[in-house]
Amino acid sequence: MAPRAPSVARAAVLKESIALPEDMPQIKGYDFNQGLDHKALLQSFLTTGFQASSFGQAVQEINKMIEKRLELVQEEHESCDSHTSASGCTIFLGYTSNLISSGVRESIRYLAQHRMVDVIVTTAGGIEEDFIKCLAPTYLGDFSLKGKELRQQGINRIGNLLVPNDNYCKFEDWLMPILDQMVLEQKTEGTHWTPSKMIHRLGKEINNPDSVYYWAYKNDIPVFSPALTDGSLGDMIYFHSYKNPGLLLDIVEDIRRLNSKAVFAKSTGMIILGGGLVKHHIANANLMRNGADFAVFVNTGQEFDGSDSGARPDEAISWGKIRMDASPVKNDIPVFSPALTDGSLGDMIYFHSYKNPGLLLDIVEGESLKI
């Protein structure tokens, strides 16, 4: 008779499992035998596993924001000023400049055009690149192109994107007369400029439906950029200060306005694409109301260097920037950005525009994507 395997080995390998909850999702991917159903493919991400499931959870979290946003606020607020939102959820969208440099810009423009977000926060590059693209195109290059050769040719590289330096010269030609007019209005009319008011004005002046900030201007969506001088805009403001000095931009008024958007909201949701300034500026505004109710972070940062960019949502909970009873999601892969780029965010939420500006979104072509 053959000897039995050692009992310790059998016990280790054949350890019994506890029964898992019956409602626990089972891992299953999309079956392409059923044909290509774009919506069903996105729905399958939730049960695909790994980062795809994080994507599916992000969709769920955004759907919660949208559903809450449709609840009109009936009760009285502490404040009756312009900061008070009439919707059930104020959605803050933050993104870094590289997304505007890339083709994701068109998806962000769609969100602004159809009033799918209430507040935008971005960097200086996230502002200027939008306007520059209205004046001249950005091109596809390669990550490996040599910096020395590009500099000699007057070509700037953003990853594998190429921006001729002439584009920035065109930007200067367009911007300088506007800065002159801003200084004039400041001196003669007492206009009190802030970064958000300047962006609003530039959105009006560009008068181009391809622009994110044209639609932010048209739909009165405030755009905050506390580091507005950190880029080409800052370069132009610097040069202009020699030609026609005196322009003042008040960041104090803007921080009160941004924080008030969070404080007086019925509930808030954060969708933050990227990290750094935009992530912290939105999160810190939500600290003023003891945290956001909903949050989706999309970035490739890691928490191990202690950076704000890589910090997980749980760290934000410890600071009071996300509420303790929230269920925030972090997605750390680029799959979310292509979903934005090809319009999938529009498929996710299936909302086109407000029925009444500032009050109610209109559902079109079906319901929001449920996962």
pLDDT of residue 52: 86
pLDDT of residue 228: 97
Q: Please, which residues have CB within 8 angstroms of residue 184's CB and are 6 or more apart in sequence?
A: none
pLDDT of residue 38: 84
Placement of tokens 């950029």 in the chain: 225
CB 255 within 8 A of CB 150: no
pLDDT of residue 176: 98
Alpha helices, H only, 154-304: 165-189, 195-206, 212-218, 232-243, 251-263, 277-287
Other C-beta atoms closer than 10 Å to the C-beta of 152 total 9
State the catalytic residue, choosing from 261, 321, 355, 370: 321
Q: How far is Cα 163 from Cα 275, in angstroms, rounded to an integer?
A: 23
From 305, 310, 172, select the one nearest 238 (Cα to Cα). Answer: 172
Distances (CA, A) of 150 to 76, 144, 233, 235: 59, 11, 22, 21
CB 330 within 8 A of CB 337: no
Identify the sign of the CA torsion 68, 69, 70, 71. positive
Concerning whether 321 is annotated as a catalytic residue, the answer is: yes
pLDDT of residue 119: 98
Environment class of 288 (CB within 10 Å of its CB; exposed 0-12, middle 13-18, buried 19+): middle
DSSP β-bridge partners for residue 164: 155
Q: Please, which residues have CB within 8 angstroms of residue 67's CB and are 6 or more apart in sequence?
A: 368
Q: Please, which residues have CB within 8 angstroms of residue 355's CB and are 6 or more apart in sequence?
A: 361, 362
Q: Please, which residues have CB within 8 angstroms of residue 254's CB and are 6 or more apart in sequence?
A: 194, 195, 196, 224, 226
Which CATH architecture fits 56-70+87-136+165-350? 3-Layer(aba) Sandwich (3.40)
**SS3 of 322, please?**
strand
Other C-beta atoms closer than 10 Å to the C-beta of 177 total 10
CB 58 within 8 A of CB 73: no
pTM listed for this prediction: 0.87
Q: How far is Cα 317 from Cα 295, in angstroms, rounded to an integer?
A: 11
pLDDT along the chain (371 residues), means of 10: 84 93 95 92 91 88 92 54 74 96 94 96 98 98 98 98 98 98 98 98 99 99 97 97 98 98 97 94 97 94 85 89 91 56 44 36 34 35
pLDDT of residue 305: 86
Domain ranges of the chain: 56-70+87-136+165-350
DSSP β-bridge partners for residue 95: 122, 273
CB 353 within 8 A of CB 114: yes
CB 273 within 8 A of CB 95: yes
